[in-house]
Chain A
Amino acid sequence: MLGLNGINFPQTQQPVQAAPAAAPAFNAGLLSSIIGQQNVDMGYTGMTRVDPGQAFRGDQGASTLLGQLSRAQWTDWKARFAPYVDRLTDIATDDDLATRSSTQAYTAANQINNNAQRSLQMNQASYGLQLSPDEQAAQNRKFALSGAATAVQSANDARAGAVDLQQSILAGNAGLSQIPDKVLNQM
């Protein structure tokens, strides 16, 4: 539907949608999105159109059309791209991002460690090895210590990586340079 200035305005904004339920194969927390997900309104295309015939209407039809074009571009950018400024801002200022990233790494490393322990038991069984209670306890301790060390190291690395990511966003990838001034200057 045409607006007053000859521009189609978007009917819907991009709604925030929760991440879908995790697949059962791995820990649910492991598979949830760390930096959030959003549903893109795929229907919002070709709606911000202008009428080229306007250029030949009246004494200043071309001038009016270029004005409408400028408005259309800005409207389109606000509807489809501006939300990503908000997205990146949210990521860059998310106090819990490092914690979530860290938890994800910790869980992943633990999961691999647990599976490896089961693999070892199967390999031992294939050799007919019987562990004494003391040996079994030592093996459990070894896996617990090794697994914890790896998980903590991975978690710390992920935490540092998340902070690096936030700083890289703040350092120039979500600032005013993203406003499409080039497009406007072309008018």
Chain B
Amino acid sequence: MSGGGGDTDIEDTPEQRYLAQVAAEKWNFAQDNLAPLQNEYMQQVEQMDSPGRKSYIMGRANQSTQAAIGRGAEQLGNEAQAAGIDPSSGKFKGLMMDATTDAASAGGEVAARALAEQDNQKALGLQNVLAIGSGQDTRALAGLTDMSSLSAQQARGDAYNAFNRRSANLQTLGTLAGAGTSYYLNQNPMKSASQMGGIVDQPLGNGMGSGNNYGLDMNQRYT
């Protein structure tokens, strides 16, 4: 039996040495080949809310809104002509103004939301960077084209819908004016045909029943 003393150091086994060597080589490989990609991702995340990108998003939303306004105005004019309404009349001017402000409201909200969402995406990207650093899964981010396309599409759709609604009102207005029922246009919007009781004749009842307010509700908003 040994009486103690002597060298108490424990030597590494060959297995430990090779495992350590491989671990070191893996680490160096990651530093040489993966770290640059991580840095590239970080850089891209930092650029997500650059002035250029925000300008691009804002431009897409703005351009789509203005295009929808132009197209809507043209359609409104055509509808007015078809309905026999004088484009120089106060009613036509008012409809065009209301449709444009509706479209502007839609476009403004979309633009504001798109910019805010881009900021949110950047914050998600920053969280992704941390997740990468701790070896966790990361989430995919919506890209600039997703954001701008969605905002442009929505701005265009919302703005154009505002004109379509006004245009539909215009058609109804023209028909009703021709039928000599302009009296009802000066009334408050009716909620349903039943509320109008016996004064509603059948042709009007359909319109009222469907919630059409003949363009008189200034609080009307896109839905």
Interfacial residues, chain A to chain B (CB-CB below 8 A): 19-23, 25-26, 30-35, 37-42, 44-56, 59-63, 65-66, 68-69, 72-73, 76-77, 80-81, 84-85, 87-88, 91, 101, 104-106, 108-113, 115-117, 119-120, 123-124, 126-131, 135, 139, 142-143, 146-147, 149-151, 153-155, 157-158, 161-162, 165, 169, 173-174, 177-183
11 new A-B contacts at CB < 8 Å, known A105-B116, A129-B88 = A25-B59, A30-B58, A55-B20, A62-B19, A111-B58, A113-B104, A113-B105, A116-B101, A128-B88, A158-B112, A162-B116
One of B31, B58, B70 near A26 (C-beta < 8 A): B58
| Known A25-B59, A55-B17, A129-B93; contact A45-B39, beta-carbon cutoff 8 A | yes
Residues facing A in B1-19 (CB within 8 A) are: 9-12, 16-19
Instruction: Indicate whether B23 reaches chain A with its CB closer than 8 angstroms.
Output: yes
Question: B88 to chain A: which residues have CB within 8 Å?
Answer: 127-130
Across the two chains, which residue of chain B brings its CB closest to A182? B135
Contact with A along B17-55 (1 / 0, CB 8 A): 111111111011001100110111011001101111011
| Known A48-B31, A49-B31, A119-B100; contact A110-B87, beta-carbon cutoff 8 A | no
Bound form: Cα–Cα A68–B102 in Å: 65
Bound form: Cα–Cα A173–B102 in Å: 39
Bound form: Cα–Cα A127–B170 in Å: 17
Whether A22 lies near B116 (C-beta < 8 A) is no
Whether A112 lies near B65 (C-beta < 8 A) is yes
Pick out which of these stretches binds chain A: B124-132, B140-148, B194-202, B209-217. Answer: B124-132
16 A–B contact pairs at CB < 8 A? A35-B126, A53-B21, A61-B17, A81-B130, A84-B126, A104-B115, A108-B58, A112-B61, A113-B104, A115-B62, A116-B104, A127-B77, A130-B88, A157-B109, A165-B123, A169-B123
Question: A55 to chain B: which residues have CB within 8 Å?
Answer: 12, 16-18, 20-21, 24
Q: What's the least CB distance linking A23 to chain B, in Å?
A: 5
Across the two chains, which residue of chain B brings its CB closest to A187? B23
Across the two chains, which residue of chain A brings its CB closest to B155? A112
Chain A at the B interface: SS class: helix
Question: A153 to chain B: which residues have CB within 8 Å?
Answer: 109
Whether B39 lies near A31 (C-beta < 8 A) is no
Whether B107 lies near A116 (C-beta < 8 A) is yes
One of B31, B93, B111, B130 near A111 (C-beta < 8 A): B111
One of B35, B47, B116, B135 near A80 (C-beta < 8 A): B35
Bound form: Cα–Cα A21–B52 in Å: 10
Across the two chains, which residue of chain A brings its CB closest to B100? A120
Count residues on chain B whose CB falls below 8 Å from chain A CBs.
77
Bound form: Cα–Cα A38–B39 in Å: 12
Chain B at the A interface: SS class: helix
Whether B134 lies near A66 (C-beta < 8 A) is no
Bound form: Cα–Cα A165–B120 in Å: 7
Whether B27 lies near A30 (C-beta < 8 A) is no
Q: What's the least CB distance linking A106 to chain B, in Å?
A: 8
Whether B27 lies near A73 (C-beta < 8 A) is yes
Whether A120 lies near B69 (C-beta < 8 A) is yes
Instruction: Indicate whether B173 reaches chain A with its CB closer than 8 angstroms.
Output: no
Question: B133 to chain A: which residues have CB within 8 Å?
Answer: 77, 80-81, 84, 178, 180
Whether A109 lies near B135 (C-beta < 8 A) is no
Bound form: Cα–Cα A44–B108 in Å: 42
Question: B116 to chain A: which residues have CB within 8 Å?
Answer: 101, 104-105, 157-158, 161-162
Bound form: Cα–Cα A135–B90 in Å: 9
Bound form: Cα–Cα A108–B10 in Å: 70
Question: A113 to chain B: which residues have CB within 8 Å?
Answer: 101, 104-105, 108
Bound form: Cα–Cα A124–B93 in Å: 8
Q: What's the least CB distance linking B43 to chain A, in Å?
A: 4
